[in-house]
Homo-oligomer: A and B are copies of this chain.
Amino acid sequence: MKTMPKGLLVVLSGPSGAGKGTVCQLLRQRNPHLAYSVSATTRSPRPGEKHGVNYFFLKREEFEAWRDRGEFLEWAEFCGNLYGTPRSYVEERLASGQDVLLEIETQGALQIRASFPTGVFIFLLPPSWAELKARIIQRGTESEEERRRRLAKAESEIAMLRAYDYLVINDRVEQAVARVEAILMAEHARVNRFSDEELKAQLEGQLL
C-alpha cells in the first residue's frame, strides 16, 4: 500500500517591512506546485493589488460574518484592520498532499502553530533595523501615524522570534527565497515526518 505523503504547511511571517510579499511572490513563481492561500483583510488595497489574488478585500461586516461562521483558520486585528486565513482551502490542499504557503502576520502565525504543530514556521527579517525603518517609510502608502504604529509593532513582533523554527534574513530577495526553498527541501527529508509504514514502503522501493 502506497501511503500518501502529507503536505507541509509553511508559514512565512515577520514584521511589517520585512518583505514577506516580495519573497512570497518570487517563491511562488519559482515553485508553482506550492499552493498559496490567499488571506482575507479589511484593509484597503495598495496600488496594483487585486481581489482574490493578493487578498480577499472584505468590508468589516463581511469579514465578521466569515469569522462567525468559523471560516477562518486564524484571524487577527492588526493596526486597525482585520486579517484572516480561510480554512477550507488550506485543509483541502494539505490533505491532498500539496504543500501550502501562508504569508501571515505574527499574531495569526502563532494561532496557526496551535492547530498545526508540525507546520514549518519561518520568520523573515530585513538585514537591519535601519533597513526595516527605511522600508516602512519608503512604502509610503500609509499615513505618518500608521507608519509609527507599524514600527512600534515591528519591535514587539521581533520579540516573538523564538516561537518560530527558522530565521531568514531578507538581504537580497533571491537569496532569501533560496533559503526558504532549502528549508522546504530539508523539512521533507525529516525522519519524524515519515510514518513507520512510509519508511517501510521506502525501503521496499515503493515510494519516491
Nearest-CB residue, chain B, relative to A127: B205
Among A129, A168, A185, chain B packs the most CB atoms within 10 A around the CB of A185
Which of these, B128, B187, B204, B208, contacts A129 with CB under 8 Å?
A: B204
How many of these chains are in the complex? 2
A189 touches B183 (CB 8 A): yes
B179 touches A185 (CB 8 A): yes
Chain B residues near A129 (CB-CB < 8 A): 203-205
Bound form: Cα–Cα A30–B17 in Å: 35
A128 touches B161 (CB 8 A): no
A181 at interface by CB-CB < 8 Å: yes
A-B contact pairs, 9 of them (CB 8 A): A128-B203, A161-B191, A162-B191, A164-B191, A167-B190, A179-B189, A182-B189, A186-B186, A186-B187
